[in-house]
Amino acid sequence: MRFLRLLPVFAVTLPLPAAGQETPPEKILLNDFRPVSIFKIPITEVSKARYPVIDLHTHPYAQTRAQLATWVELMDLSGIEKTIVLTGAVGAKFDALYQLYSEYPRRFQLWCGFDYTALEESGFGPAAVKELERCYRVGARGVGEISVKGRGLNRKTQPGGIHPDDVRLDPLWEKCAELGMPVNIHIADGIWDYEKMDIHNDGLMDAVSWRLDNQPGIVGHAGMIDILERTLKKHPRTIFVACHFVNLIHDLKLLGQLLDRYPNLYTDISGRFAEMGTIPRFTAQFCEKYAGRIVYGTDLGTDKRMYGITFRLLETLDEHYYERGEFNNHWTMNALALSDSALKHLYRDTALKILK
Ligand SMILES: [Zn+2]
């Protein structure tokens, strides 16, 4: 019955903003631009993934039993076999989440955070390792999402904090290896966020919400990749899933070199669907070549349409289409049509290797 899921339709309605319709064309802002594809080409709806999927990048979107039940229903409809929830939490907060999600032990796996208490004070380390061991005993099976964009770990404002290659983190990374806990780490951010917010910024419409160009003193994009490399080198037994294509979707050649050099490095595709759909052939070649090192992830809530958008991008040959909201810059989407073998690796097999 699988063919029924690929339902070609040739009519689609996209929301058109009322504003702008009467604006003289020379006054239309890029921000208001809502083009509708005029091409008479196939539009493919994929509501369920071709193969069973493990989503390795979500957050604790469900906070009640009812919300959790709805999420499980949605997973069933979409073909999501299992979801990894990156709670980033420790202590009582982690325990409460674990308690809630343990209603579906085969459908969810929870990862904890690091206890950052007194992170930048002398003596940091042993207590954090103890808390990691405790979370493991409760049921945590990985760590994440550890996010570091240039200011240092756990820093919301000023730069100068501790980065993952810091010697004070060594015992934590080593404990992850010892316990068999993979780590989801968010290193740097999209390259567009570090560039000047001007007429030449290719990703301006998205980057402006996440901009880092206005934060003096932070470690830049290249510096963050260096930090990741030093961390990978120092902890070869620790499995790192550096999410969002390691924020190197703009330079997949460099990402390939890192994957070649560090067998303990994996990546996920979460939150980078607009970028993938802009360079579909190169991205597809990359996903085929590095199948076995890339996992499926979403990072975009629990919306039915959202799952379908990712399946369409990965499985079909659709071209020049628009997805609004979290999926879009001012680029159009073009799908990747990955091979069955690459899809199976991406959707499930590689995740199973990481999750053991
Ligand atoms: Zn995330």
For residue 57, being part of any structural domain is answered with yes
Ranges in the chain, pLDDT < 50: 1-16, 20
Cα of 291 from ligand 1 centre, angstroms:
21
Cα of 34 from ligand 1 centre, angstroms:
28
For residue 42, being part of any structural domain is answered with no
* Ligand 1 ion local residues (Cβ < 5 A): 145, 299
pTM as predicted: 0.91
Cα of 238 from ligand 1 centre, angstroms:
20
Residue with structure tokens 């073909």?
79
pLDDT of residue 321: 93
- The answer to whether 160 and 148 have CB atoms below 8 angstroms apart is no
Q: State whether residue 222 is helix, strand or coil.
A: helix
For residue 126, being part of any structural domain is answered with yes
Cα of 268 from ligand 1 centre, angstroms:
10
- The answer to whether 84 and 58 have CB atoms below 8 angstroms apart is yes
For residue 318, being part of any structural domain is answered with yes
Q: Report how many domains make up the chain.
A: 1
For residue 35, being part of any structural domain is answered with no
Cα of 271 from ligand 1 centre, angstroms:
8
Which CATH number characterizes residue 205's domain?
A: 3.20.20.140
- The answer to whether 334 and 340 have CB atoms below 8 angstroms apart is no
What is the domain range of residue 81? 51-355
What are the structure tokens assigned to 292, written together? 């076995």
Cα–Cα distance between 174 and 143 in angstroms, integer?
12
For residue 18, being part of any structural domain is answered with no
Nearest to 144 by CA among 237, 33, 58, 230: 58
Cα of 109 from ligand 1 centre, angstroms:
15
Cα of 57 from ligand 1 centre, angstroms:
6
What are the structure tokens assigned to 23, written together? 């604006």
Cα of 113 from ligand 1 centre, angstroms:
12
Cα of 13 from ligand 1 centre, angstroms:
30
Cα of 186 from ligand 1 centre, angstroms:
8
Cα of 111 from ligand 1 centre, angstroms:
12
Residue with structure tokens 């550096």?
242
For residue 153, being part of any structural domain is answered with yes
For residue 39, being part of any structural domain is answered with no
Measured in whole angstroms, how far is the alpha carbon of residue 283 from the centre of its chain? 15
Cα of 327 from ligand 1 centre, angstroms:
15
